[in-house]
Amino acid sequence: MSQDLFQAPDYYQLDELLSEEHILVRDAAREWVKREVSPIIEDAAQQAKFPISIISGLAEIGAFGPYIPEEYGGAGLDQISYGLIMQEIERGDSGVRSTASVQSSLVMYPIWKYGNEEQKQKYLPKLASGEYLGCFGLTEPDHGSNPGGMVTNIKDMGDHYLLNGAKMWISNAPFADIAVVWAKNEEGRIKGLIVERGMEGFTTPETHNKWSLRASATGELIFDNVKIPKENILPNKDGLGAPLGCLDSARYGIAWGAIGAAMDCYDTALRYAKERIQFDKPIAATQLQQKKLAEMITEITKAQLLTWRLGTLRNDGKATSAQISMAKRNNVEMALTIAREARQVLGAMGITGEYSIMRHMMNLESVITYEGTHDIHLLITGLDITGLPAFK
């Protein structure tokens, strides 16, 4: 990839809405991405290899559990700082942000919120430091948008549970040390449990041939009569609301992350358009390319404002799940549209790995699908404003 010359757009002086701490945290993440992610990410994506060497750096910038209290090894930051870290990481690559999202919101969050003190002490510090990597198993081969239909199950055997079933499309699965898995008990109630690598009957085959999120490892979780000690059950919440509560936190991070990917595409296209000469003038001097660039910065600015406000609502404990859905849906579509437009600004160069745009575009095809598809988030808004569910 050519040198990383990224300059973040701030068209509405949004930095004035941020605290000194927010800016420090964001700039540290921005510098780290420039130094450690940009030089290696294109190769990693081309070779479909997760760049495992960056795990310790992710931990150092506070990307693993940004809002988890310091007593458990987290960074103890607020929701805006968490969002800004996700924005900067996804500016580098959505797959790297995926790893951080899963670790923070889908593994650390449920242990912190639904686990007991022993579980928090045992797992959270190791997850925060990157010594352990986690994954989150909700989706099944026959239950994607409708996780409530899951068939993965646990049976009470007296001194332990027996876990059977399979999860699919699981980020980090091939190399995760632990998995937070959702399964139904004999009463059909959804429970969260911690499955550890090495437990007999537990395997994690990798999913190959992806054109998207190539720098993130995806796999299955297969449970064949896995003995789960009773102390590995998350005791403090069950039902579908438990995994969905984790998704609220991850979807919020994605809303910020998508802005990062969009900013990178816009910034790249703007620079290229000013330098690329056709018909004896920069293509940036043509009305058609200006329309693309002007619309991009407009959409980025709107998304920044929406997401900053959502962050303040989350800081006050007032953000609703439906508000988070709106931001995830809007921002990911915004980023994907910008990636497609920006790629065209670069002409043929836009399809090469010299520039990040095509990689962002392919990544965003996963981001618009996972954590609730574009359609599902629209239906969540529909339900919220009408009171009438249209899923079934």
Binding positions for ligand FAD, rule: CB under 6 A = 102, 135-139, 144-145, 169-171, 213, 218, 366, 369-371, 373, 375-376, 391
Residue 240 in contact with ligand TGC, rule: CB under 6 A = yes
Residue 370 in contact with ligand TGC, rule: CB under 6 A = yes
Distance of alpha carbon 265 from its chain centroid, rounded? 18
Residue 86 in contact with ligand TGC, rule: CB under 6 A = no
Q: Which stretch binds ligand TGC (CB under 6 A): 34-42, 68-76, 80-88, 139-147?
A: 139-147
Residue 121 in contact with ligand TGC, rule: CB under 6 A = no
* Helices within 69-143 (DSSP H only): 79-92, 94-101, 109-114, 117-129
Q: How far from 18 is each of 67, 92, 298, 311, CA to CA, in Å?
A: 17, 22, 20, 11
Q: Which does 148 bind (CB under 5 to 8 A by kind): ligand FAD, ligand TGC, none?
A: ligand TGC
CB of 180 to ligand TGC, least distance (A): 10
In 3D space, the residue among 336, 318, 266, 347 whose CA is nearest the CA of residue 79 turns out to be: 318
Beta bridge partners of 281: 278
- Within residues 144-203, the interface with ligand TGC by CB under 6 A covers 145-148, 171
CB of 354 or CB of 375, closer to ligand TGC: 375
CB of 182 to ligand TGC, least distance (A): 9
Q: Which does 369 bind (CB under 5 to 8 A by kind): ligand FAD, ligand TGC, none?
A: ligand FAD
| Region for 216 from its dihedrals, namely left if φ exceeds 0, alpha if ψ lies in -120 to 50, beta otherwise | beta
CB 299 within 8 A of CB 373: no
CB of 173 to ligand TGC, least distance (A): 10
Burial 74-100 (b: 16+ CB within 10 A, else e): bbebbbbbbbbbbbbbbbbbbbbbbbb
In 3D space, the residue among 93, 102, 167 whose CA is nearest the CA of residue 132 turns out to be: 102
Q: Which listed residue (42, 90, 299, 371) is catalytic?
A: 371
Q: Which residues contact 350 (CB under 8 A, 6 or more apart)?
A: 342, 343, 344, 357, 358
Q: Which does 240 bind (CB under 5 to 8 A by kind): ligand TGC, ligand FAD, none?
A: ligand TGC
Residue 371 known to be catalytic:
yes
x-marked contacts with ligand TGC along 271-310 as a string, rule CB under 6 A: ----------------------------------------
In 3D space, the residue among 307, 253, 311, 245 whose CA is nearest the CA of residue 109 turns out to be: 245
CB of 323 to ligand TGC, least distance (A): 10
Distance of alpha carbon 381 from its chain centroid, rounded? 21
Residue 380 in contact with ligand TGC, rule: CB under 6 A = yes
Residue 98 in contact with ligand TGC, rule: CB under 6 A = yes
CB of 299 to ligand TGC, least distance (A): 22
Helix (H) and strand (E) counts for the chain? 12, 9
Q: Which stretch binds ligand TGC (CB under 6 A): 82-90, 94-102, 297-305, 340-348?
A: 94-102
CA angle 77, 79, 81 (to 5 degrees): 60
Q: Which stretch binds ligand TGC (CB under 6 A): 20-28, 237-245, 258-266, 284-292?
A: 237-245
In 3D space, the residue among 359, 339, 335, 344 whose CA is nearest the CA of residue 1 turns out to be: 359
CB of 149 or CB of 205, closer to ligand TGC: 149
CB of 203 or CB of 321, closer to ligand TGC: 321
CB 148 within 8 A of CB 392: no
Question: What is the distance between the alpha carbons of residues 112 and 92, in angstroms, rounded to a whole number?
Answer: 28
Residue 90 in contact with ligand TGC, rule: CB under 6 A = no
Footprint of ligand TGC (CB under 6 A): 98, 101-102, 136, 138-139, 145-148, 171, 239-241, 244-245, 247-248, 321, 370-372, 376, 380, 391
Catalytically active residues, by annotation: 371
